[in-house]
Amino acid sequence: MSLSMYQASVPAFVQILGSLGNVLEKAEAHAAAKKIDPAVFAAARLYPDMLPLARQLHIACDFAKSATARLAGLEVPTWSDDEKTLAEFRARIAKTSQYVQGFKPAQIDGSEDREIVLKMRDATRTFKGQAYLLHFVLPNFFFHAATAYDILRHNGVELGKRDFLGQVPGMNA
């Protein structure tokens, strides 16, 4: 049995987006319990030259929505990056998850050889769909999601690996 492009993308995005939403809920509860302004988390970084939590969350969401749209051959929706509070970020994550879940397997399956053209800061890059998903999108998506988790964990939010993994399909509780 082979793994389809849909199976390799949408369920992974939905799982980790769900866990990011839950992690942010825990961050809100932590901030309330410790009397910390939750806005502090949005600006927090692991290291001075790394992006803050807010950008990590924007980028993770953008990779999920952009990849599904591009693999389906659709225009990537543009959303403003104006979220400031953890609640606003949870809403963005939920909106992204809802968008991704709106795709049907038939829209994404068969996109292995679809040409994906990205205009990046320094150049234009061209991928085939499968390489785009497996070697560019998924590593970047997981990197930014894990970094968001790490920023909150580093700042004292009590999180564990299960929080990052979220609800794993097919795994007994």
Question: What 3-state DSSP class applies to 138?
Answer: helix
CATH number at residue 24: 1.20.120.450
Query: 171 lies in a domain?
Result: no
Query: 144 lies in a domain?
Result: yes
Query: 173 lies in a domain?
Result: no
d(CA 147, CA 124): 26
Query: 172 lies in a domain?
Result: no
How many domains does one find in the chain? 1
* Mean pLDDT, the chain cut into blocks of 10 residues (173 residues total): 91 97 96 94 95 97 98 96 94 98 97 94 94 98 98 95 85 65
pLDDT at position 173 is 59
Query: 96 lies in a domain?
Result: yes
d(CA 78, CA 88): 17
The pTM (predicted TM-score) of the whole model is 0.94
Kindly provide the residue ranges of all beta strands, DSSP E only, lying in 29-168, ordered along the sequence. 115-119, 124-128
User: Domain range for residue 123?
Assistant: 5-165
